[in-house]
Amino acid sequence: MTPIAQEVTIHLDQRSYRIVIGSGLLSAPSVYAGLPGANAAVIVSNSTVGPLYAATLRSALVAHYSEIHEVLLPDGEEHKNWQTLQSIFDVLLDRGCDRKTIVFALGGGVVGDMAGFAAASYMRGIPFVQVPTTLLAQVDSSVGGKTGINHPLGKNMIGAFYQPQRVVCDLGVLGTLPVREFSAGLAEVIKYGPIADMAFLGWLELHMDDLLARRERALSHAVQRSCEIKADVVGQDERESGLRAILNFGHTFGHAIEAGMGYGVWLHGEGVGAGMVMAAELSHRLGLVDAAFVKRLTVLIERAGLPTQGPVLDAQDNAGRYLELMRLDKKSEAGEIRFVVIDGPGRAAVRPAPDSLVRQVIDACCA
């Protein structure tokens, strides 16, 4: 039986694809029909998600592929590197995988980014499907084709734009996600409100308790609306020549927090939570939104179980340390930091800001 599912299409000419959202999708063979023909499928997952869900996914894929291989990566952002990527290539080559082999990325953003990059580069590109299992991955990282790994000198610095053939968001798997990871995913859901859709922000205010209780109807709407907004932005600017940067609202401050604390101490979504408050405060001090808007966003971020204040990264010169880290941001141009600001509720823009003002924001928003 085909489970009831919602669909969002991401329009990218020949690279267009569907995002399928619903419960029980992992084990439904019909969800995987119509993908490029292949003899072999390779499920790439990790040591946490694989034991929970790889067998269920495999039970659906046997209807379509005569061989199914598995690669289980070590779990954790610290393993998002060349060595782990190499271990995917090792299995693909060892099992004689050809250009028609299809990869299924089963996991959160770390697995999705790495399996996607492996698919982008193995034999110069083989098809892949995203099967995201974290809220963050379902609403953000599995959609839009950014793939890659970290370099010791910077996060996500090596990678490729490479679109999946399909994204399968099974809401049922979110039931096993740890509370802290679930809240981290909510940060990426919340960001879509201030940058693109104030009605969605209002809906989130009404339904935050339902989301925290992981009620399916609320999850379904949150994932669908997030994917619609992301699909719309990526459909206009696939390779981030401009507009797509608005999806990084809160991330400039957030990445500085992640790097400054040491990767893994603050989760990505936690950095984005506090980072959105800082970016909203900067927008306010630039005269773009009123104080009530900043307060409203801060309250919602707090209700989602996320930090609303940044950590102190340097007791001597905290703002200086943030500025130093933010200059490494991929949006920086000739050493000038460019911030995603709210240019009126529901509308974002990317612009520089005077260091003196950014220092005031950091002083006001860190504890």
Provide the annotated active-site residues: 124, 146, 188, 230, 240, 244, 248, 251, 255, 268
Least distance to ligand NAD from the beta carbon of 156, Å?
5
134 binds, among ligand GLY, ligand NAD, none (CB under 5 to 8 A by kind): ligand NAD
- The least distance separating ligand NAD from the CB of residue 118, rounded to whole angstroms, comes to 14
In the complex with ligand NAD, which residue's Cβ is closer, 109 or 310? Answer: 109
Which helix (H) or strand (E) is 236 found in, with range?
helix 216-236
Q: Is 331 in the site for ligand GLY (CB under 6 A)?
A: no
Min separation Cβ 244 and ligand GLY, Å: 5
Residue partners of 76: CB distance under 8 A and separation at least 6: 110, 264
Q: What residue is closest to ligand GLY based on CB?
A: 247
Footprint of ligand NAD on this chain (CB under 6 A)? 46, 48-49, 52, 75, 77, 80, 107-111, 113, 133-134, 136-137, 140-141, 144, 146, 156, 173, 176-177, 181, 184, 268
The DSSP symbol for 12 reads -
The residue among 103, 92, 153 whose CA lies nearest residue 129 is 103
- Applying CB under 6 A, among 58, 146, 255, 284 the residue interacting with ligand GLY is 146
CB of residue 47 vs ligand NAD: minimum separation in angstroms?
8
Tell me the closest approach of the beta carbon of residue 272 to ligand GLY, in angstroms. 10
For ligand NAD, the nearest residue by Cβ is: 109
Q: Per-residue string for binding with ligand GLY, 217-256, x by CB under 6 A?
A: ---------------------------x--xx--------
Give the Cα separation of 280 and 123 in Å (integer).
44
Among ligand GLY, ligand NAD, none, partner that 268 touches (CB below 5 to 8 angstroms by kind): ligand NAD
Return the percent helix, strand and coil in the chain, to nearest 5. 50, 20, 30
Cα within 13 Å of Cα(31), Cβ side: 31
Does residue 61 bind ligand GLY (CB under 6 A)? Answer: no
Does residue 156 contact residue 141 with C-beta atoms inside 8 Å? no
3-state secondary structure of 162: coil
Q: How far apart are CA 185 and CA 222, in angstroms?
A: 11
157 vs 111, 233, 310, CA distance in Å? 16, 22, 24
C-beta separation of 155 from 80 below 8 A: no
**Residue 156's binding partner out of ligand GLY, ligand NAD, none, with CB under 5 to 8 Å set by partner kind:** ligand NAD
Of 138-146, 269-277, 299-307, 343-351, the segment contacting ligand GLY by CB under 6 A is 138-146
| CA gap 6, 220 in Å, rounded | 8
**With CB under 6 A, what is the number of residues at the site for ligand GLY?**
6
Q: Which does 275 bind (CB under 5 to 8 A by kind): ligand GLY, ligand NAD, none?
A: none
Whether residue 143 contacts residue 188, with contact meaning beta carbons closer than 8 Å, is answered with no
SS3 call for 125: coil
Residue pair 191/251 in contact (Cβ under 8 Å)? The answer is no
Instruction: For residue 58, give the amino acid letter.
Output: R
Contacts with ligand GLY, residue ranges (CB under 6 A):
140, 144, 146, 244, 247-248
